[in-house]
Amino acid sequence: MALPLPPGLTPPEIAFLCEMELVTVIPRQRLEGLDLLGGNLRPLNPPHRTPLPLWLALLLKRQRRANMVPPPWLSQHSLEAILDYETEHDDVFSPPPRLPSAPSNNALAFSPPFLSSSTADAAADALPYHWLELGEMLLEAASDDFEDPDTMRKLLRGLREVRMAKLRKIVEKLDADGGVKMNGIGAMEIGEGRAFVGGVIDGLRKIAASREQQRKDRDRDEMENGFSGTADDDEMEMA
Amino acid sequence: MDIDDILAEVTADAIPQEQKDLQQLTRSWVAERVAPELLAWPEELMERVLERIRKQIELVEDQTGNMDPKTNFKLIIIQTELERFKFLVRSFLRARLKKIDQHALHYKQQHEASQTTSTPLLSPNEYQYLTAHEALLSTHYTSSFLSQFPANLQRLDDTTGGVSMVDKPDEDAAVFVRALKDVGQIFVEGTEKKFEIRRGDVYVVRWSAIRRWVELGDLELI
């Protein structure tokens, strides 16, 4: 019964997550609203564009009940611009899409795959968290909704290679302490890099473990002495 | 509180509970699959989700056999979504079971310590599983070899010599996190590492250094 998998998500699981992303479809058939477990489904009225989760959009598309509207970033112009950025800056990933305004303190903060970063009105200048999976799935199931699917595939492949090279380069920055910033990284890239990056950090940590323990003990001693010192000062002042 | 806060609150209230629960269930699933340690059981969330799944199954059972093609297609959609939810719940529970199996005695102690707090570590079912499984194992060990040992070597949770026999998960393992809020300065104990995490940042960092903020919901594991 227990899950036999190591920590981390497998590629099919990452694709499963990605299928929760909202995409825009143009329905070709009417469909009444439905009460789904993840919230109500709005009725589909052709030819009104409607945002739907990707799994449902793919289901409708495969049965030719809808057409997809590719997200703005999945276009030749945008991908070329992002690819240029990626090649020019060889130590950071291109920045992720801008975040929506921050929720107030008690509200639940939404994060990918629930940010609608791939609907028809999403930002055109940034790759969302699930860019690789989403691009591949859309190109596979709905290549007829793209003007030039082969160029898209080529650009996605190029992006993937540049970014994987960066991920491999990050290894030089890794040390036993962790704390490496990786803004803009994609879900599939984390999935691929997790075992390696985590393994390197954990391995280095084990090598440095005894030195670290010494430091921890020293810090703790200093802290205790420091606290007792200030306490004495306070007492002096009180007196 | 300024106008943005008020607006954000209004929009947050407008989001239906179902959608929030899906986000939270997804987040809990990813966190449980990725974290080196078992996380607290999200009791209220699971109650709501399981209740909804139960109702949806009833609805599907009610409507199967209906030959109208339109209803039929609706049923396909409902069933597809139902299966996705069932997968999430099942994978979540199995990931927890794996951790419980691996470090049973450790989590038993932790759970007993957490029972007085508002967030117990295990669900009643999981606790029952843990104790039953543990009882079976120790009976088996005793009958097959432990009973041959001298009495002072028969314990499974010995702590003599300052070393505990109870195995613990690696709390310092590296994890990927994303900040849902500004978190501020993070210190990694035992090193000179200090850095600031802002909303939207993605970091690879030791689990022990950021566990507190994941439990608060300011950081999410990815």
pLDDT over 60 (residue A233) = no
Count of domains forming chain A: 1
CATH number at residue A153: 3.40.5.50
Mutation target among A177, A181, A205 for the B interface, most CBs of B within 10 A? A177
Chain B residue numbers touching A197 (CB-CB < 8 A)? 174, 204
pLDDT over 70 (residue B7) = no
Domain ends where: B125, B145, B168? Answer: B168
pLDDT for B9: 55
Question: Do B57 and B145 share a domain, yes or no?
Answer: yes
CB contact under 8 A, B200 and A4: no
In a domain, B38, yes or no: yes
Percent residues over pLDDT 70 in chain A: 93
CB contact under 8 A, B34 and A7: yes
Question: Do B123 and B40 share a domain, yes or no?
Answer: yes
Count of domains forming chain B: 2
In a domain, B187, yes or no: yes
Which helix (H) or strand (E) covers residue A45, if one does? Answer: none
Chain centre distance of CA B1: 33
SS3 assignment, position A183:
coil
Rounded to 5°, angle at Cα B119 from B113 and B124: 80
Say if residues B40 and B121 touch (Cβ distance below 8 Å): yes
CB nearest to A111's CB, from B19, B76, B178: B178
Mutation target among A37, A41, A56, A129 for the B interface, most CBs of B within 10 A? A37
Domain ends where: B124, B144, B168? Answer: B168
Q: At residue B204, what is the residue type?
A: V
Q: What is the DSSP letter of A7?
A: S
CATH number at residue B39: 1.20.58.1030
CB nearest to B91's CB, from A3, A96, A104: A3
CATH number at residue B201: 3.40.5.60
Q: What is the DSSP letter of A89?
A: -
The whole-angstrom separation of Cα B31 and Cα A63 is: 35
pLDDT for B25: 96
Please write the tens of the pLDDT for every residue from B153-210.
888 887 777 778 888 899 999 999 999 999 888 888 777 788 899 999 999 999 999 9
CB contact under 8 A, B190 and A201: no
DSSP string for residues in A99-112 = PPPPPPTTSPPP-T
Residue A17 tokens, joined? 């997550």
The whole-angstrom separation of Cα B17 and Cα B48 is: 10
In a domain, A121, yes or no: yes
In a domain, B6, yes or no: no
Name the CA radius of gyration of chain B, rounded.
23
Most confident by average pLDDT, A120-124, A223-227, A229-233: A120-124
E strands along chain A, which residues? 22-27, 34-36, 39-41, 50-53, 66-69, 180-181
Question: Do B144 and B219 share a domain, yes or no?
Answer: no
pLDDT for A236: 43
Question: Do B217 and B179 share a domain, yes or no?
Answer: yes
pLDDT for B2: 56
Q: Give chain B as a 3 state SS string.
A: CCHHHHHHHHHHHHCCHHHHHHHHHHHHHHHHHHCCCCCCCCHHHHHHHHHHHHHHHHHHHHHCCCCCHHHHHHHHHHHHHHHHHHHHHHHHHHHHHHHHHHCHHHHHHHHHHHCCCCCCCCCHHHHHHHHHHHHHHHHHHHHHCHHHCCHHHCCCCCCHHHCCCCCCCCCCCEEEEEECCCCEEEECCCCCCEEEECCCCEEEEEHHHHHHHHHHCCEEEC
Question: Do B38 and B105 share a domain, yes or no?
Answer: yes
pLDDT for A56: 95
In a domain, B4, yes or no: no
pLDDT over 70 (residue B218) = yes
Question: Do B108 and B125 share a domain, yes or no?
Answer: yes
pLDDT for B65: 77
pLDDT for A18: 96
- Output the average pLDDT for chain A: 87
pLDDT for B5: 57
> Which pLDDT band, with edges at 50, 70 and 90, does A229 fall under?
very low
In a domain, A164, yes or no: yes
pLDDT over 90 (residue B220) = yes
In a domain, A46, yes or no: yes
pLDDT over 80 (residue A226) = no
pLDDT for A238: 44
What average pLDDT does range A91-115 have in this prediction? 84
pTM: 0.89
Question: Is the CB of residue B44 less than 8 Å away from at least one CB of chain A?
Answer: no
Please write the tens of the pLDDT for every residue from B118-144.
889 999 999 999 999 999 999 999 999
CB contact under 8 A, B77 and A56: yes
- b/e per residue B196-215 (b: at least 16 CB within 10 A): ebeebbbbbbbbbbbbebbe
Please write the tens of the pLDDT for every residue from A132-183.
999 999 999 999 999 999 999 999 999 999 999 998 888 888 887 788 889 9
Question: Is the CB of residue B30 less than 8 Å away from at least one CB of chain A?
Answer: yes
pLDDT for B164: 80
pLDDT for B133: 93
Is the peptide bond preceding residue B120 cis, with omega within 30 degrees of 0? no
Decide if the complex's ipTM is over 0.90.
no
Q: Which residue of B has its CA nearest to A215?
A: B190
Question: Do B86 and B193 share a domain, yes or no?
Answer: no
> Which pLDDT band, with edges at 50, 70 and 90, does A105 fall under?
low
In a domain, B97, yes or no: yes
What domain range includes position A165? 11-94+111-187
Question: Do B164 and B185 share a domain, yes or no?
Answer: no
Least confident of A210-219, B22-31, B110-119: A210-219
Q: What is the DSSP letter of A97?
A: P
- Is the torsion defined by CA of A46, A51, A55, A56 positive or negative? negative
Please write the tens of the pLDDT for every residue from B51-101.
999 999 999 998 887 778 788 889 999 999 999 999 999 999 999 999 999
Question: Do B124 and B79 share a domain, yes or no?
Answer: yes
Q: How many CB atoms lie within 10 A of CB A146?
A: 18
CB contact under 8 A, A201 and B174: yes
Question: Do B119 and B176 share a domain, yes or no?
Answer: no
Q: Which residue of B has its CA nearest to A5?
A: B95
What average pLDDT does range A28-57 have in this prediction? 91
Question: Do B83 and B119 share a domain, yes or no?
Answer: yes
pLDDT for B12: 54
What domain range includes position B128? 11-168
SS3 assignment, position A236:
helix
Say if residues B114 and B50 touch (Cβ distance below 8 Å): no
Residue B30 tokens, joined? 């990813």
Question: Do B185 and B99 share a domain, yes or no?
Answer: no
Question: Is the CB of residue B140 less than 8 Å away from at least one CB of chain A?
Answer: no
pLDDT over 80 (residue B152) = yes
The whole-angstrom separation of Cα A91 and Cα B166 is: 43
Domain ends where: B130, B152, B168? Answer: B168
pLDDT for A230: 44
Percent residues over pLDDT 90 in chain B: 63
pLDDT for A222: 79
